[in-house]
């Protein structure tokens, strides 16, 4: 399926439902809420860059392309963010998760987040990179089957801005005369589809299957074609821009009614390895990147418990940070904590 | 589809817990119907198994408990709420 076909096909049910929401229908049987969150299509726990607040500490990673000291290092990662709810519509009036067959929900959120990695091995513990993301997100979920829910997520527009740390940049310039500061910044669209259910093996367990994809709107790809401070188009634009993803998650049945659930969650995506100077002999390549989490999480629709997840995470593939996405076979691992309200 | 027979006072409690307001009668009726659709069949089955007299008042109370239980599965939430009610009533 081409990205364009996938995009238009997935948007169809959202448009169809939007068409159903006439003022008369709204008065008749739809619950409409402004600025109230509802759990339609929650991010997969192992999704690498959702808008949520996460610490990975203690954590280690492979050295970065221009690290001064070589070898693996202690490097913690911080993500701060949330999916800010704007508007939700649903024919389920319970105010929580969709409760029975035939119920559906649709909404608009603003995902906003930033992601930082700090290196504790090089001098002065440099912030290596900070990435900022925000956009608009529509999410739809239908309790279409007795024990399964079908969902779709579409981000029509999101912006990502990435910033290499100043200390990392200074050290890189000192030791590498060929070092270039690339402006990785783009607008993109993204889609996702989800099938999830429960009672696969035991009362109270849950499973999820996910597929998604993203691509920049810019014809120039993921980064500028010139270096910062220059107008010369010295860089070759990215071309193999579409990045598909696949995810799977299983939550074991809780041992007590309100206790946390043990889970396994994995996200696999075919990511572009940025190549700023492509030639026929040195073309762009892609790599499958995997992120796996094993841990415990509060049950879905839990409110008032700040610590949402406690887990061990290991990831391998393309470096996820800014211009360092030119690095293949990057790895990181650590203990993670997710917080929320 | 069966229509909710949950009493208004219990529905008001459930509605207030979620929305922090009384709402209109129309809104509470829709809320009541959503709870009924989500949980009532499981509640009736579980109450029958446990020998609990499943009056509308009892089922409505259990449905409100289920609606505020964590989890992504309505049947599991309803079963937990019935288990809590059994414990409350001292039914083994």
Using a CB-CB distance cutoff of 8 angstroms, which residues of chain A are in contact with residue B74? 97, 99-100
Using a CB-CB distance cutoff of 8 angstroms, which residues of chain A are in contact with residue B27? 93
Residues 6+ apart with CB under 8 A from B52: B58, B82, B85, B86, B89, B91
Candidates B15, B19, B70, B75: best to mutate against A (most CBs of A within 10 A) is: B70
pLDDT computed for residue B70 by the predictor: 85
Q: Locate the chain A residue with the closest alpha carbon to B40.
A: A100
Q: ipTM score here?
A: 0.90
Q: Which residues pair with A106 in a beta bridge?
A: A89, A140
A12's enclosing H/E stretch is helix A3-20
- B6 touches B36 (CB < 8 A): yes
Sole residue written with tokens 């090089």: A122
Q: Locate the chain A residue with the closest alpha carbon to B31.
A: A93
From B59's Cα to the closest Cα of chain A, the distance in A is: 16
Q: Determine whether the interchain pair A96/B67 forms a contact, defined as Cβ–Cβ distance below 8 Å.
A: yes
Q: Determine whether the interchain pair A196/B72 forms a contact, defined as Cβ–Cβ distance below 8 Å.
A: yes
Among candidates B19, B27, B38 on the partner chain, residue whose Cβ is nearest the Cβ of A99: B38
pLDDT computed for residue A12 by the predictor: 47
Q: What are phi and psi of A322, to 5 degrees?
A: 45, -130
Residue B71 φ/ψ region, left for φ over 0, alpha for ψ in the -120 to 50 degree band, beta for the rest:
left
Among candidates B18, B19, B71 on the partner chain, residue whose Cβ is nearest the Cβ of A299: B71
From A199's Cα to the closest Cα of chain B, the distance in A is: 8
Candidates A31, A37, A90, A100: best to mutate against B (most CBs of B within 10 A) is: A100
User: pLDDT for A9-38, tens place per residue?
Assistant: 444 444 444 444 434 344 448 999 999 999
Q: Determine whether the interchain pair A103/B34 forms a contact, defined as Cβ–Cβ distance below 8 Å.
A: yes
HEC readout, chain B = CCCCCCCHHHHHHHHHHHHCCCCCHHHHHHHHHHHHHHHHHHHHHHHHHHCCCCCHHHHHHHHHHHHCCCCCCHHHHHHHHHHHHHHHHCCC
Q: Determine whether the interchain pair B34/A204 forms a contact, defined as Cβ–Cβ distance below 8 Å.
A: no
pLDDT computed for residue A67 by the predictor: 96
Q: Determine whether the interchain pair B37/A257 forms a contact, defined as Cβ–Cβ distance below 8 Å.
A: no
User: pLDDT for A251-284, tens place per residue?
Assistant: 999 988 778 999 999 999 999 999 999 999 999 9
Burial of residue B75, with CB atoms counted within 10 A of its CB: 0-12 exposed, 13-18 middle, 19 or more buried: buried
Q: Determine whether the interchain pair B18/A258 forms a contact, defined as Cβ–Cβ distance below 8 Å.
A: no
Mean pLDDT of B23-48: 96
From A64's Cα to the closest Cα of chain B, the distance in A is: 40
pLDDT computed for residue B39 by the predictor: 96
Q: Any idea which of A51-65, A149-163, B78-92 has the lowest mean pLDDT?
A: B78-92
Among candidates B70, B76, B84 on the partner chain, residue whose Cβ is nearest the Cβ of A298: B70
Using a CB-CB distance cutoff of 8 angstroms, which residues of chain A are in contact with residue B69? 257-258
pLDDT computed for residue B1 by the predictor: 74
Contact B45/A at CB under 8 A: no
- A171 touches A149 (CB < 8 A): no
**For residues A36 and A20, what is the distance between their CA atoms, to the nearest angstrom?**
21
Among candidates B37, B38, B76 on the partner chain, residue whose Cβ is nearest the Cβ of A203: B76
pLDDT computed for residue A341 by the predictor: 75
**For residues A61 and A77, what is the distance between their CA atoms, to the nearest angstrom?**
10
Q: pLDDT band at A8, cuts 50/70/90?
A: very low
Candidates B76, B79, B85: best to mutate against A (most CBs of A within 10 A) is: B76
- A215 touches A242 (CB < 8 A): yes
User: pLDDT for A278-323, tens place per residue?
Assistant: 999 999 999 999 999 999 999 988 888 899 999 999 999 999 999 9
Q: pLDDT band at A43, cuts 50/70/90?
A: very high
Q: Locate the chain B residue with the closest alpha carbon to A300.
A: B71
Q: pLDDT band at A168, cuts 50/70/90?
A: very high
**For residues B80 and B3, what is the distance between their CA atoms, to the nearest angstrom?**
23
Among candidates B34, B71, B83 on the partner chain, residue whose Cβ is nearest the Cβ of A300: B71
Mean pLDDT of A323-331: 97
- A332 touches A58 (CB < 8 A): no
């Amino acid at each position: 399926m081409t990205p364009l076909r996938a995009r238009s096909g997935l948007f169809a049910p959202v448009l169809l439902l939007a068409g159903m929401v006439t003022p008369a229908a709204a008065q008749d049987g739809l619950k409409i809420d402004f600025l109230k969150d509802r759990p339609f299509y929650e991010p997969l726990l192992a999704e690498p860059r959702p808008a949520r607040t996460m610490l990975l500490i203690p954590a280690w990673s492979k050295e970065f392309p221009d690290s001064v000291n070589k070898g693996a290092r202690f490097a913690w990662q911080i993500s701060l963010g949330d999916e800010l709810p704007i508007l939700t519509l649903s024919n389920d009036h319970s105010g929580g998760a969709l409760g029975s067959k035939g119920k559906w929900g649709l909404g608009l959120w603003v995902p906003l987040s930033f992601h930082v990695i700090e290196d504790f091995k090089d001098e002065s513990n440099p912030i290596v990179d900070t990435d900022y993301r925000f956009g608009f997100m529509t999410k739809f979920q239908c309790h279409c089957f007795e024990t399964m829910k079908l969902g779709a997520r579409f981000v029509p527009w999101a912006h990502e801005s990435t910033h290499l740390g100043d200390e990392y940049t200074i050290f890189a310039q000192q030791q590498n005369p060929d070092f270039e500061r690339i402006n990785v910044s783009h607008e993109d669209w993204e889609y996702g589809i989800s099938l999830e259910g429960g009672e696969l093996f035991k009362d109270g367990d849950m499973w999820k299957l996910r597929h998604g994809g993203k691509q920049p709107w810019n014809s120039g790809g993921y980064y500028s074609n010139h270096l910062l401070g220059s107008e010369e188009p010295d860089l070759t634009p990215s071309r193999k821009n579409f990045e598909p993803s696949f995810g799977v998650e299983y939550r074991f049945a809780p041992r007590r009614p309100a206790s946390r659930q043990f889970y396994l969650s994995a996200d696999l995506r075919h990511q572009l390895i940025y190549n700023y100077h492509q030639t026929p002999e040195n073309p762009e390549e892609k790599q499958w990147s995997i992120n796996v989490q094993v841990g415990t999480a509060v049950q879905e629709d839990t409110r008032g418990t700040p610590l949402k997840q406690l887990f061990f995470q290991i990831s391998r593939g393309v470096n996820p940070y800014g211009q360092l996405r030119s690095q293949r076979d990057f790895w990181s691992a650590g203990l993670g904590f997710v917080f929320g309200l | 589809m069966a229509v909710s027979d949950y009493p208004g006072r219990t529905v008001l409690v459930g509605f207030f817990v979620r929305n922090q307001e009384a709402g209109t009668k129309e809104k509470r009726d829709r809320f009541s119907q959503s709870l009924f659709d989500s949980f009532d069949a499981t509640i009736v089955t579980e109450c029958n198994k446990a020998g609990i007299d499943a009056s509308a008042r009892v089922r409505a109370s259990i449905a409100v408990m289920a609606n505020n239980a964590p989890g992504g599965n309505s049947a599991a939430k309803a079963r937990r709420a019935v288990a809590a009610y059994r414990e409350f009533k001292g039914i083994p």
